[in-house]
Structure 1
Amino acid sequence: MKRILIQLILMSVLCLGYCGGLFAQATSQISGTVKDATGAVVAGAGITVTQTATGVTRSATSDASGVYVLPSLPLGPYRMEVKKEGFATYVQTGIVLEVASAPTIDPVLKVGAVSESIQVEASTVTIETSSTGVGQVVNSQDVVELPLNGRQVTQLITLAGGSNVVQAGFGQSPTVGNLMSSKNYPNEALVSVGGGMLNGTTYLLDGGSHNDPFNNLNMPLPFPDSVQEFKVETSALPAEYGQHSAGAINVVTKSGSNQFHGDAFEFVRNNYFNANDYFTASPAHPNGQSDGLKRNQFGGTIGGPIKKEKVFFFLGYQGTLLRSQPAALKAVLPTASELAGNFTAYEAQCFKTPQTLVGAYTNNVLNYAVPSVVTNFASYFPVGPEPCGNVTYTISQNQNEHMGVAKVDYQINSKQSLFARYYGTHSLQPSSFLPSQGELSVANAGTDDTVSSLVLGHTYLISTAMLNTFHFSYSKIGITKFQVPIPTPTDIGVAGMYTALPHFSNINISGDFQSAGGFATPGLVNTYTWGVKDDFSVIKGPHQLQFGFSFLRPRQTSTFCVYCNGLFTFSGARTGNAMADFIAGLPASMIQINVSHDNEKWRSLGLYVQDSWKVNPRLTLNYGLRWEPYLAGSIDNNYVSHFNMQNFMANVHSTIWPNAPAGNLYPGDSGINTGGRPNFTTWNNWAPRIGLSWDPTGHGKTLVKASWGMLFDMPHTLFYYNYATEPLWGSSVTLINPSFANPWATYPGGVSPFPTVQNATSAYPKNGYYESVPLRVHNTYVDQWNLAIQKQIGSSWLFKASYLGNDVIHLWVDQEGDPSIYLTNGMFGVPIDPITGACTLYIGATPTTYTPCNSTKSTAARRLLTLIDPLRGTAQAQGPYYGSLELLNDGGTGSYNALILSAEHRLTQHFSMLANYTWSHCISDAQTTELSAPITNNPNNFRYDRGNCSFVDVHHNFNFSGVLQSPHFSSQTLQWIAGNWQLAPIIGIHSGSYFNVTTGLDNALNGAGSTSLGQRPNLMLSDPYCHPKTVTCWMNISAFANPTAGTYGNLPMNHLEGPGYIDLDLSISRRFPIREKQNLEIRFEAFNVANHPNFLNPGTANLAGGTNNTVMTASTFGKIQGDVAPRIMQFAIKYAF
C-alpha cells in the first residue's frame, strides 16, 4: 500500500509540472443547455463570457446535446455572448458569479442574422445545481454594509442558518478543553456548522487552507472591506472537500480591476455612548458602571490595474486600538470571619438552603488554626465583604491589532492566469496585571500573536474541455504568552515544592477566585503549515469529470508551563464548600509537571475523483469518491507511550525505558514500531459521496436536491500535546487530597520527585499521569444526508427548505483507565463477609480479598492498578507507579437532525434580505477535544455522559439580515433631504443552550479529577427551574441532591436549558456624492439596540474562562453571573472611490 501511495504522489507531482495549475483562488462556473425558440437543442454554438471588471474572457462550444460548461471562472460580474450561424447573437448581462456557486444559464436563440443581438438581463438570484451540499452565499455588499460587531466576518456564519457560535464567556470548559484559549489567536471562532464538531469545519481563504492546525479552528479572517464574498456550505459536500466533516467556510478576498477603486475608513467607539453592563449595578452605582471602552478601527483599501486587462493589484489595511476596563468581573474572596475559620454567617446567609460543613469543621467553625500558607496567599487579595465575599472589580483589557492583505492577479494569456495573495495580522494584548489591584487583576498574562498566510494559484485552460488548477499555501502562527509577577507556592510558604519558574502559581478556589489560571500561564506556541492542491477537470459529453489531490504538512513547536509550579484545586470535595476547603488548607488535588515541550509533525493527504453527469436537461447526478488516509503525526524525541492491560498483568516492561511501570511501552519496543507516532497509519479510509439535482418543471425555477456522503475528520496537534506531560520528560504527578502546607508529605518517600532526571536508568515517579491511544485507532467520520427544495420566484426571490441529518461514528471519548475502586458491600455483587468484614473484588478472573473492606482509603491506594499490584515496577523505585491513566476510546457516536427554512431577496427595488429559521437537535457522547479533556465520569460506561450536545444543541434559531436603501427622487430638493440613506439590520433570536449541574465532589469515589466532566447529582424534582426564572434564582437548588457514596447521579448529561438570546444590531448610514464614482459615507451602528440582557448560563461569569457547568458547592449555584455585551454604539466615516 505504501508503494501505491508513493506512486500516486509521484504522478501528482508530475502533473504539477506538466499540467500547470490548481483551484485558482475560490472560483465558480457557468453551465447550461443552448436551445432554440422551439426547445430543440443547438449544437456547435459558441459561448463567450467576459468578466467586465478585468476584461478576461473564456469560451466554450455546446456539444451535440447543446450542453456547455465553463469551469473555474474567477468571481465577479460577467457578460455572456452566444453565437451560431442562422441565429441572432444572444447577449446576457448582469451575471454575477459568487464563491463556490455554479449557476445554470440556458440561452434561447432566435432565428436571425448573427449581426443582430437579443439583450437579456440576468436574474439576481439563481438556483444552483452542481453542488450536493446545502449552502448560502453572503455577497460583498452585505459583507461591507451589515453591522458586524467588531467587524468580525465570522459573524456571517450564523446568518447562513444551521450554525451555532459559542458566545464569549465559554472559552475554556470541560466540554471544549483548550480549543479556544490564550494559546490561539484572539479572533478565532468556536462554531458548529450543520451540527458538526466545534472544530470540524474547513476554512478556505482564496482557495488555500485557513485552519489553525493547533485546534482546527479558523485563522483570523480579513476585515470586511477586503472580502469579496463569503459562503457557508455543509452536508454531504462533493468529494473535492476533505480533512473536516462539518462543512466548509469559503472566503474570497477582493481583487483589482481595470479601474482604480478603494476606500478609507474609521470606526470609533466610546464608553460615553454605551449602556452599562447589567451586572455592574450596585447601591453605589444603581445604573451600573462604565467599562471605559475606547476603540478605534481605521484603515483602507485600494485596487486597480498595474497593466490593464493583464495585471491587477489589491491592498488593504486595518488597525484596531482598544482600551477598556470592564467592571463586571466577579469573584468571591475570603471574608475576615472566614480568614478566622468561622463560616457560620456565610453558610447561614449565602445559600438558599443553609449548609453544614463537614470534615475539619464543627458547627461551621474550623477545628484548628487557619494555616499560615492560607493567610499568606489570601494577603495578596483584598478581604471580601461580609458575609458572602462577593466582589465586582475592574481590570484593564487593552489590545492593539494590525492586519493587512496584498494580492496580485496576472492574466498571462487567454489560457493561463496566476495570482498571489499575502495576509498578515499582529495582535498585542498587554497583561491585565495592575500592582495597585494585586493578584485579583491577573485575568490574563498578556499575549503577542502573529499570523502570516501566503497563497499562490495558477489556472491553465488546456482546451475548451480540459482545465487544471494548482495551488500552494503556507501559513505561520506565533503565540507568545507573557509572564507576570505573581507569588510562587514557595513564596507563600508551601513546603517541599520545586519552583520551575519564578513569579508564577496556579491556585484555584473553584467558582470563587484564583491566583492566575489557564489564561495567565506563560508559554510559546508556533505552528507552520504548507500545502499543495491540484484539480484537473475534463468535459466528456454530459459528464464533467474532476479529479485531484491535496496535501498539507502542519508542524508545531511549543513550550508550556501550565502546572510546572503545581496546580492546587480547592473544589469543596473535603468539606462541602470550595472556600472552606481553602481556609482549612485542604485541596482536592495537586498536579505538578515539568516544563513541557510538544513538537509535532503531521501530514494530511487526500485524493478524489468526482463526476457531474447531466443525465438530461432536468436531472443531474453528482457522485464521487475520496481516499483520505489517517497519517498519524510524529512527536519529536518519541514522546509517546502505549499502555496495554495484558502487558501489565503479564508484568511486561519496556526495553527502551526499563524503569517504566509494567504495561507501558514506547516506540522501539516490540510491537510499538510506530516511528514516534501515537498510533499506526490507517490507509483504508474511503469516503463516497452521491447526490442528485432535479428540475421537476424544466423551467429552471424549481429544484429538488438530495445527497448522501461520508466525511472523515482529522485531529489537530493540540489533541496529543498532553503526551508532553508524561514521565519521564513531563512527569505529571497528581496528588489527591494532599495538604496545602506540605503537599508531598504523604507522597511515597515524603519528598517531591521534581525536578526529574531523564535517562534510561532514571526512576519513574509514583502516581504518575499517563495516557494512551489505541495503536489501530479509527478516525471519526460522519454519515451525512440532506433533502432540499429550492424555488425561485421572479428574478430576485429564492426560497429554500432543507432537511439535514448526520450520524457521527467513532467519536473519540476519553476514559479513566486507572479509576479508584469503591470497596463496599455489594460491589460487583460480592457481599461483605459478616465475620471478617472483608470484601472480594474480581479483577479479571482473579479474586482479591480486602480486609477490612475500606472505601475511605486514599484515592491513590484504591486505584485499580494499585489494587492489582502496587509494586509492579523495578527495584529502583517501588510503586504505585500509576496515578491517572487516560485511555482514548473511539467508540463514541452522535446524531443531528435539522430543518432549515430560508428566504432570500437579492438587491433590487432598493432592498435585499436574508432570513432563515433552523430547528435542530443534537445528541452525542462526550467528545474529547484533547487527551485528558474531558474525561468521562463513569470509567466503565462512557454512555453515562451521553446527552444533548454541549453548546451545539440549540433547538430554535432565527436570523434576519437586510439592506434597505432609499429610492432616487426626481426632485433635487427631496433627493438632497431623503436620498442616499441606508438601513441595515441584523436580528438574531435563539433558544438557550444546554448545560450541566455538577456536585463539585467525587461522589462516586472513582478519583475523578479536575479535567473530568464533573459528577452530576440526583434530580429530585421533575421541574428543576425557579418560577419565575431570575438571575438570582434560575434553578431551584432544592431539585438537586448528592448521590449516595459510590454511585452516580441520575441527572442526564446537559439536561438543563439556559437563557435564550435576542439581539438587534442596526446600521444607519448616508452617502454624500462628491463627484463621479466618489462618495463620503457617515455611518451610525448600534449592537443590541434594545439593550436586552442576554444572560449566560447559570454559574458562568463573563470571563474568557467560563464553563458549561454550574457547581453545587459554589455560593453562586443556581444563579446567573454574567451576560453578553450590553448596547454598544459606534460611529464611522468612510470615503470610497
Structure 2
Amino acid sequence: MKRLLLFLLLASLPVMAQTDRGTITGTVTDPSGRRVVNADVLIRSNATGVETPVKTNNAGVYTATSLSTGDYDVSVEADGFASLRFEHVGLDVGQVRTLDAKLSVTGGSVQVNVRADSGLSKSSIEIGGVINGRQAQDLPLNGRSYVGLVSLAPGMIDSGTGTQQDVRAAGLSDEDNTWHLDGVDNSGINHQYQKVDLHLQVSTEAIAEFRANGVAYSADQGGSVGGQIEIVSKSGGDVYHGAAWEFIRNNVFDASPWNAQGTLPALRLNNFGANIGGPIVKKKLFFFANYEALRQNLNQTLSGTVPSTAYRAQVAAEQPVLAPLINAFPIGLVPVAGSVDQMTWYGSGPEVTHEDSGLVRADYHINDRMNAFVRFNTDHYTETAPDTFTPSTAFNDLNTPNATIGIQNTFTPTFLNDARYGFDRAEFAQGQDTPFLFALQIAPFTGIDTPSGSVRNDNSFTGIDDATLLRGRHTIKMGITVRRVQENKASPNTPDETISYQGPEQKGTPDDFLKNLIDSDSYAGAVPVTGQRLTEYFGYVLDQFKLGSTLNLNVGLRYENFGVDHEVLGRGLNVDPINCPNVVCPSNIPWYYQSNLEFSPRVGVIWSPAIFNGKTVFRSGFGIYDGFGQFGGLGQPIGNLATKYTLTQAQAPGFGYPVPSGLGVATHSNSPAGASIHRKITSVNEWTLSVQQEVARQTIAQVAYFGTRATHVFSSITLNGIINQATNARTYAGYSTIPYQNSSADAYTHALQASIQRNFSTGWMLSANYEWSHSIDDGGIGGGEADTPQNNNCLACERSSSDQDVRSYFRMSTIYQLPFGRGRAFLNNSSRITDLFLGGWQLSGIASARSGLPVNITMSRSATALPDEINKGQRPNRVPGVPLYPSHKTTQEWLNANALTTPASGTWGNLGRNAVRAPGIWQIDPALTKRFALTERVGLNFRAEAFNVLNRAQYGTPASTFGSGTYGLITKAYSTNATGTGTPRELQFSLKAEF
C-alpha cells in the first residue's frame, strides 16, 4: 500500500522531458531584433492533422514539448506582421528543434514560407544521432534486427556481430547501456542486453525512429553511464496504411564460410509479417498493430580441437578409468601441425530458431491540452542448437512482454506535464544435454559443456513523471523516475561442476591427464528459486537557457539512488573476507552499503554565431554520469546458498577422476562468491567539443572530440591464494579460493569523431561516421565486465588497451531513389510500360569497417607452478627483441610463438595484457528495390539484398593460448551465425505489398 501511495504521489508532482518525444522551440523577433510577445504559433502534424497552438511569452520565446516524432508545419502570426510558415519540419526522438522566426512588417495578410535549417543541435551537446523509420525499413539488415542500426549513430560502435551485447559507447561495457521503448525500460533486466539474439523484440516495421546518444547527453537521461537508446513505436495516422511482407534466405544463394572445409551449411530462413494503422476517430483516436515472425533452420558448422587416435590409445592403455572421458570427444579429421596428440574436428548440427513478435498501440488526442497513448508488445523466442560437439544439444527460451501507458497535459501555455507507467518482463529458461554431469576441460582440447542451466522470471515496473515550465528565456525541465526491479530465478537450477586437467603438449607443463591428476574441480550446487528486489530513484532538473539569439546554455543536475539489492525472504549468504572478520558477514549487514550522494552536474554551451547565418554551431560541455552496471551481478549472496568449492591438488594431493563424493567439503575447499560491502557507484567524467555545419540542404557535418574517465569501475579478482607453499596455508583458513567483486578499476577513453548526415527529404539519405579512439583500463571495462588478473595483488600490472579498444571505426549507410519514372525528376510523364521498367528503383546499402580487437595471450600452467596457486589469466614471458607477429601474417601464423617463453616456476609472466590484435573486418551490404505501382496508393516492392557482397573472408580471432599446438592459428571464421555482421556473402530476397 505504501508503494502505491508513493507512486500516486510521484505521478501528481509537476515534474519533464520525455526523451522518446521531441520539442519545438524558438524566439520570435521583429525586423529590428526586438522580441514579439503573444505571437500565435501553430504546430500541425502532417501525419495526424493534430494541431498544437502555443504563444510566445514576455521574452518572445515559445515552446511546445512532448510532441510525437514526425513531420510538422509550423506557422507564426502576430498583429501587424506578415504570417510566417515553416513547412515539413522534421522532429526526431529526443530532439529540441530550434525554429527562430523573424517577422516582417506588412499592411496585409501576406504569408512568407521559409525553409527550416537542417536540424542543427542548438540546445544540447550530446554525441549521438537519430535512426529514422525509413532507415530501419529500407536498409539491408542481416537478421532484420534494429540493433544492427544503432552503431550508425555517432559515438556508438558495434564491436561484434550486431547483437545487443556488441553495442558500446565511449569504451564502456555493454552492461552500461540503457534501452528504452516509448520512454520506459526495455532491457533484459538481469543484464541490460537480452540474453539471446532477439531479432524482433521490436520489429523494424513497428519503429517510428530511435535515438542513440553515446556521450555528453543532458540531465534528463541516465540510469547508466553508457549509451542511451530510445526507441519510439509507430502510431497510426489520419489515413489508413498497411503492409504485408516476407523475406527469404536459402543456402543455395550463399557462399561457403571461410575455412568450412568445403561444406555449405543448409539454411532455410523465412521472415514474414504484416501491420496496419489508421484512424478510429479522425484527428482524435488512432491505432497501429504489427505482427512479425522468424523461422530459421540452420545446419550449423562446428569445429574443435580433439585428441588424436594415438593419444586416445595411450590414455586407454595407461588410464582405463579415463577412457569414457577421452572417448566423449568426436574423432578428429585433420592433424594439427607439429602435434601428435591433437587433431581438428569439423562437423555440423541443426540449429532451429522460432520467433514471434507483436505490437499494438493506440493514441488518443483528447483535446488541445491532453493526449494519451497505450502500447503493448511481446516477443517469444525458442532455439535449440548443438552445444560444442554433436550430439550435445542446448536450448534457450525467452519471452519479453512490455507495456506502457502515458498521458501528456498542457495545464497552461507555460506548464506542461508528461506521466507514464511501464512494465517490462523477461521469462527465460536455458540448459544443455551433454555427455556428463559436469563440464570437462583438458587443455588444449576444446571443452565439453556442463548440463547445468537456469530459469528466471524477471520484472521491472517504471513510473515516470516529467514536466516543463517556461519562464522568460528559461525552459526548465524536471523529472522523477521510480524503477522497481524483481528477479525471480534459480541459477544454476542443477549442479554446475567443471573438472580441469593439464593435458598434452603444454610447454613447460606435465601431462597430468595421463596421470589422472585433476588440476581443479570447481563445484556450485543448485540454487532454489529466489527473489532479488531493488528499487531505484532518479530525479533531475534541467534549464535550457537562451542567453541571447545565438547563445544557449544547457545546465542540469541529476540525482540517482540505485537502492540496495536484497532477497525478498531475507535469504543469501553475504561473503566479504576483507571487510567482515569471519569471512561471512553478519546477517544484519546489507549486501552492500547504499550511496545516497550521487549528484551529477552537467553543463553545455551552444553558440551559433550570427556571422554564419545560423548554419554553424559550436558546442562544448562537461558532465558526470553514474551507474551500477549489471543488476544480476549484485546477487552473489544468492549463489552462496548452495554448496561451493574449488578443489585443487594442494587440498587433496593425488586426487583424480572419479572425484570421491564429499571430498570437496571434507578438505575445507569451500569457495563462496565474495563481494565488497563497500562497493562504489561507477562514476564517469565526460567532456566534449564539437562543431556542426550545415554544408548543403538537409545536410549536416560534424567534427567532435570527447574524452571520458571512469572511476570505481567493476573489477573481479580472486582472494585466498596460497601464502605458504610448504604448508599450503591460506589467508582465510577453511576456505579455498574466493572470487571477489569490487569497484577498484579505472578506465579512460579519448576519441575523435567525424560524421555527415543527410535527410531523406531530398530523395537521398546519407549517414557516415568515423571514430578514432583509444580506450585504456586495468581490466575493468564497466558494468559486469572485467578480466581476471594473473597476479591478484597487482591490478595496476593489468593496465593496457581495453578489451573493447576499437581504434578505428567507420560505418556508412545510404538510401537513394533513382530519379527516373513517375513522380520523380526524370521521365515523370512516361508511359506505364516505360515506368514499369525504368521507374520506382531505389538503391540502399551499409558499408562498415573496423580495426581488430585486442587479444590477450594466456597459457595453461599448473597451479603448483604459481606463487599463490591461483591459476587464472596466466601469461607467458616476452623474449626481448623478438616481434610478437611474424614478418608476414597469415591465418596459419598470425602470431609468432618464438617471441614467448614459459616463466620459471614460482613467477608470473611479464607479457602485458592484450599485447596483440585480431584481424580487422570490413564489408559492404547493398540492396536494390523496385516498386511496382498497382494503383495510386497500392504498391508492390521487390527487394534483393547482398550481405558482404564482395565475399571478403572475415577471419576470426587467432588461438592465443601459448604452448598449444594451435597457437597463432586462425581456424574459425569471424562469425558462424546465419545472420549479423561478418558472415560470408549471403543473399536475401523480399516481397512487400503496401498501401
Measured in 1, the distance between the counterparts of 2:240 and 2:508 equals 66
| Counterpart in the other structure of 1:471 | 420
| Counterpart in the other structure of 2:60 | 66
| Counterpart in the other structure of 1:349 | none
The answer to whether residue 351 in structure 2 is matched with residue 391 in structure 1 is no
| Counterpart in the other structure of 1:373 | 321
Measured in 1, the distance between the counterparts of 2:276 and 2:512 equals 61
Return 191-200 or 223-232, whichever deviates more: 191-200
Equivalent pair of 1:22/1:457 in contact (CA under 8 Å) = no
- Check 1:600–1:1013 CA distance in 2 against 1; reply closer, same or farther (3 A cut): farther
Q: Which amino acid is the alignment partner of residue 74 of structure 1?
A: S
Please list every run of 5 or more consecutive structure 1 residues that lacks an aligned counterpart in the other structure: 1-5, 170-186, 282-287, 342-365, 434-438, 489-503, 649-661, 757-763, 824-853, 867-880, 1100-1109
Instruction: Select 1:110's aligned residue among 89, 104, 117.
Output: 104
Equivalent pair of 1:588/1:737 in contact (CA under 8 Å) = no
* 1:332 positional shift: 1.9
* 1:1113 positional shift: 3.4
Map 1:77-92 → 2, pairs under 5 A: 77-92=71-86
- Check 1:578–1:572 CA distance in 2 against 1; reply closer, same or farther (3 A cut): farther
The answer to whether residue 127 in structure 2 is matched with residue 134 in structure 1 is yes
Instruction: Select 1:775's aligned residue among 657, 664, 677.
Output: 677
Q: Which amino acid is the alignment partner of residue 592 of structure 2?
A: N
| Counterpart in the other structure of 1:1058 | 918
Equivalent pair of 1:556/1:717 in contact (CA under 8 Å) = no
* 1:444 positional shift: 4.6
Map 1:636-785 → 2, pairs under 5 A: 636-645=569-578, 648=581, 662-668=582-588, 672=589, 674=590, 678-697=591-610, 699-726=613-640, 729-736=642-649, 743=656, 751-752=661-662, 766-785=668-687
Measured in 1, the distance between the counterparts of 2:371 and 2:882 equals 66
| Counterpart in the other structure of 1:905 | 758
Measured in 1, the distance between the counterparts of 2:610 and 2:194 equals 41
| Counterpart in the other structure of 1:284 | none
Equivalent pair of 2:19/2:221 in contact (CA under 8 Å) = no
| Counterpart in the other structure of 1:552 | 483
Map 1:266-285 → 2, pairs under 5 A: 266-281=246-261
Measured in 2, the distance between the counterparts of 1:402 and 1:577 equals 53
The answer to whether residue 995 in structure 2 is matched with residue 1120 in structure 1 is no
* 1:741 positional shift: 10
* 1:1021 positional shift: 4.0
Matched residue of 1:1013: which SS? coil
The answer to whether residue 101 in structure 2 is matched with residue 152 in structure 1 is no
| Counterpart in the other structure of 1:838 | none
Equivalent pair of 1:321/1:401 in contact (CA under 8 Å) = yes
Equivalent pair of 1:796/1:905 in contact (CA under 8 Å) = yes
* 1:918 positional shift: 0.6
| Counterpart in the other structure of 1:93 | 87
Q: Which amino acid is the alignment partner of residue 465 of structure 2?
A: D
* 1:429 positional shift: 0.9
Map 1:567-966 → 2, pairs under 5 A: 567-572=498-503, 576=507, 580-597=511-528, 598-635=530-567, 636-645=569-578, 648=581, 662-668=582-588, 672=589, 674=590, 678-697=591-610, 699-726=613-640, 729-736=642-649, 743=656, 751-752=661-662, 766-821=668-723, 854=726, 861-866=728-733, 881-927=734-780, 934-950=787-803, 952-966=804-818
- Check 1:586–1:697 CA distance in 2 against 1; reply closer, same or farther (3 A cut): farther
Number of aligned pairs? 964
* 1:40 positional shift: 3.5
Q: Which amino acid is the alignment partner of residue 490 of structure 2?
A: T
| Counterpart in the other structure of 1:513 | 446
Measured in 2, the distance between the counterparts of 1:579 and 1:188 equals 42
* 1:931 positional shift: 8.3
Please list every run of 5 or more consecutive structure 2 residues that lacks an aligned counterpart in the other structure: 976-982
Q: Which amino acid is the alignment partner of residue 958 of structure 1?
A: F
Q: Which amino acid is the alignment partner of residue 455 of structure 2?
A: L
Map 1:111-510 → 2, pairs under 5 A: 111-113=105-107, 115-123=109-117, 125-168=118-161, 188-217=164-193, 220=198, 221-281=201-261, 288-327=262-301, 329-341=302-314, 369-385=317-333, 387=340, 388-432=342-386, 440-441=389-390, 444-484=393-433, 486-488=434-436, 504-510=437-443
* 1:339 positional shift: 1.5
Equivalent pair of 2:505/2:964 in contact (CA under 8 Å) = no
Equivalent pair of 2:859/2:874 in contact (CA under 8 Å) = yes
Q: Which amino acid is the alignment partner of residue 863 of structure 1?
A: R
**RMSD across aligned C-alpha pairs, in angstroms?**
2.8
Measured in 2, the distance between the counterparts of 1:783 and 1:1019 equals 39
Q: Which amino acid is the alignment partner of residue 308 of structure 1?
A: K
- Check 1:930–1:158 CA distance in 2 against 1; reply closer, same or farther (3 A cut): closer
Matched residue of 2:547: which SS? strand
Measured in 2, the distance between the counterparts of 1:137 and 1:865 equals 53
Measured in 1, the distance between the counterparts of 2:138 and 2:606 equals 33
* Identity between Structure 1 and Structure 2 (%): 24
- Check 1:265–1:538 CA distance in 2 against 1; reply closer, same or farther (3 A cut): same
Measured in 1, the distance between the counterparts of 2:667 and 2:274 equals 58
Equivalent pair of 1:1065/1:1089 in contact (CA under 8 Å) = yes
- Check 1:1087–1:571 CA distance in 2 against 1; reply closer, same or farther (3 A cut): farther
Measured in 2, the distance between the counterparts of 1:575 and 1:664 equals 38
More strand by share: 2
Equivalent pair of 2:245/2:990 in contact (CA under 8 Å) = yes
Matched residue of 1:603: which SS? strand
Return 406-415 or 557-566, whichever deviates more: 557-566
* 1:135 positional shift: 1.4
TM-score, with normalisation over the residues of structure 1? 0.81
Return 1111-1120 or 536-545, whichever deviates more: 1111-1120
Q: Deviations over 1:778-836 (max 9, x none)?
A: 1111001111100012322211001111000111212222112365xxxxxxxxxxxxx
* 1:167 positional shift: 1.8
- Check 1:550–1:695 CA distance in 2 against 1; reply closer, same or farther (3 A cut): same
Equivalent pair of 1:563/1:592 in contact (CA under 8 Å) = no
Equivalent pair of 1:738/1:744 in contact (CA under 8 Å) = no
Q: Deviations over 1:324-375 (max 9, x none)?
A: 1123x2112222210122xxxxxxxxxxxxxxxxxxxxxxxx8x94322321
- Check 1:929–1:91 CA distance in 2 against 1; reply closer, same or farther (3 A cut): closer
Measured in 2, the distance between the counterparts of 1:103 and 1:93 equals 14
Measured in 1, the distance between the counterparts of 2:988 and 2:673 equals 49
| Counterpart in the other structure of 1:1130 | 988
- Check 1:575–1:273 CA distance in 2 against 1; reply closer, same or farther (3 A cut): closer
- Check 1:562–1:1116 CA distance in 2 against 1; reply closer, same or farther (3 A cut): farther
The answer to whether residue 848 in structure 2 is matched with residue 981 in structure 1 is no
Return 454-463 or 196-205, whichever deviates more: 196-205
Map 1:927-1076 → 2, pairs under 5 A: 927=780, 934-950=787-803, 952-967=804-819, 968=824, 969-970=827-828, 971-972=830-831, 974-1002=834-862, 1005-1007=866-868, 1012-1076=872-936
* 1:638 positional shift: 3.1
Q: Which amino acid is the alignment partner of residue 670 of structure 2?
A: G
- Check 1:644–1:146 CA distance in 2 against 1; reply closer, same or farther (3 A cut): same
Measured in 1, the distance between the counterparts of 2:284 and 2:101 equals 29
Equivalent pair of 1:537/1:546 in contact (CA under 8 Å) = yes
- Check 1:163–1:1022 CA distance in 2 against 1; reply closer, same or farther (3 A cut): farther
Measured in 2, the distance between the counterparts of 1:928 and 1:135 equals 21
Q: Deviations over 1:169-220 (max 9, x none)?
A: 9xxxxxxxxxxxxxxxxx6433211222221111111111112221122585
